[in-house]
Amino acid sequence: MRNLRLPSPPERYSQRDEAETRRLIELALLRDTPGTGSGLQSRRTVVFTSASLAAGASVQASFDLGAPGAVLRTILADRAARARFYAIASVQSTDASRAFTTPPPAGTGILGDFIWLTSHTKYVAPHLDLYNADDPADNTIYITVQNLTGSTSTVTLTLEVVSVEA
């Protein structure tokens, strides 16, 4: 059996540049990240429970996302509700009266607007970036939750997220 040799591709990088590129890729894939050791991030769950809300009432709140930025993959509401996510607190108060049927203005810091008529999981596709745009950024995500049931209750949201920054 004779050895076949594939033709060499045209030289795009010097060997030194190629070695540096490989080193940078390896560092990106294997870097240490807080709380996980190293490598790729795992899915994790973040739970938000509102205060007790009268039927139709809303509350503006915030919660710790566990990172300044994460990708939202699924979100479960335990009852009929509306949830709006914001990158900065100032947008949250100006958006308070926007109807669900009115699309949020682009580029304002309104990250997502979800509604549930019953308890179920929403599979978010394409995935939604949740992030804090404060200066300096921290792990806080701003949320407005509305109780859409016919009685007073809390609203619990269970988010499945993957951190994208530390």
Measured between alpha carbons, how far is 50 from 44 in angstroms, rounded to an integer? 20
pLDDT tens by residue, 105-144: 888 999 999 999 999 999 999 999 999 999 999 999 999 9
pLDDT tens by residue, 48-78: 999 999 999 999 999 999 999 999 999 999 9
In this prediction, residue 9 carries a pLDDT of 55
pLDDT band at 42, cuts 50/70/90?
A: confident
In this prediction, residue 124 carries a pLDDT of 94
Measured between alpha carbons, how far is 58 from 51 in angstroms, rounded to an integer? 10
Q: To the nearest 10°, the Cα dihedral for 6, 9, 11, 14?
A: -60
Sign of CA dihedral 160, 34, 48, 142: negative
Measured between alpha carbons, how far is 51 from 147 in angstroms, rounded to an integer? 10
In this prediction, residue 41 carries a pLDDT of 79
Q: Do residues 140 and 48 make contact, with C-beta atoms less than 8 angstroms apart? A: no
In this prediction, residue 27 carries a pLDDT of 62
In this prediction, residue 142 carries a pLDDT of 96
In this prediction, residue 79 carries a pLDDT of 97
